[in-house]
């Protein structure tokens, strides 16, 4: 009973967060709800007993969204709203939804039709996370460390390249000054 209640709770929260991601105009709200949705997806892995995949979901995907969050804060003006020029938004939404539903049905049809058997761990004393850790830190230790160093170098390089010099800091301005700057930008366009 607990699993069913938890599944529906996390399903509702995940869909809600992704709907906020799609329908909000503020980039910071969209990235925050995207990160929350990724964390809620990891809850499904924990419910299924795949602790390692749940932790990887949190670390890798939510970490990637947080990196997007950081770059979004550096590159974009978070106070401005995005205005789209779509001639028929309902038709675009309907066609996108139908195509997404068709893709989901195509990929889930073989799963529904066939029966799968779950295979248990080779070594019953160790769980899923312990087995992955033993293999990762024995056989694949050097490639794992090389990948970590490469990701660190890429992150530092991205931060250096993204650093831009701004004449004005939005955090130090009052609301009236921000409105005056936005009106001035609109007049220049």
pLDDT tens digits, one per residue of 73-125? 766 665 555 566 777 778 877 887 788 777 777 666 665 555 555 455 556 66
Q: Determine how many CB atoms are found less than 10 A away from the CB of residue 164.
A: 7
User: Which range (8-17, 69-78, 129-138, 161-170) has the least confidence?
Assistant: 161-170
Is residue 172's pLDDT more than 70? no
What percentage of the chain has pLDDT greater than the value 70?
71
3-state secondary structure of 76: coil
Helices 63-75 and 141-162: crossing angle in degrees, nearest 10, is 20
Residue 41 has pLDDT above 80, yes or no: yes
CA angle 25, 29, 34 (to 5 degrees): 110
Q: What is the pTM of this model?
A: 0.49
Quote the CA–CA distance of 137 and 160 in Å, as a whole number.
Answer: 31
Based on its alpha-carbon atoms, the radius of gyration of the chain, rounded to whole angstroms, reads 22
**What is the DSSP secondary structure assignment for residue 114, as one 8-state letter?**
S
Higher pLDDT, 116 or 153: 153
Report, as an integer, the average pLDDT of 126-153: 76
């Amino acid at each position: 009973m607990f699993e069913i209640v938890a599944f529906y709770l996390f399903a509702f929260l995940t869909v809600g967060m992704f709907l906020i991601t799609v329908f909000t105009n503020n980039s910071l709200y969209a990235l925050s709800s995207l990160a929350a949705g990724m964390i809620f997806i990891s809850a499904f892995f924990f419910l299924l007993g795949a602790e390692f995949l749940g932790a990887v979901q949190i670390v890798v995907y939510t970490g990637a969204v947080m990196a997007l969050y950081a770059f979004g804060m550096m590159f974009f003006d978070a106070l401005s709203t995005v205005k789209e020029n779509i001639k028929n938004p309902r038709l675009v939404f309907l066609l996108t939804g139908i195509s997404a539903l068709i893709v989901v049905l195509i990929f889930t049809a073989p799963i529904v039709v066939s029966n799968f058997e779950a295979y248990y761990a080779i070594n019953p004393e160790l769980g899923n996370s312990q087995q992955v850790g033993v293999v990762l830190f024995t056989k694949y230790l050097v490639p794992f460390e090389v990948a970590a160093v490469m990701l660190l170098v890429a992150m530092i390089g991205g931060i250096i390249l993204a650093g831009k010099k701004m004449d004005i800091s939005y955090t130090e301005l009052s609301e009236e000054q921000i409105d005056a700057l936005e009106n001035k930008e609109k007049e220049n366009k």
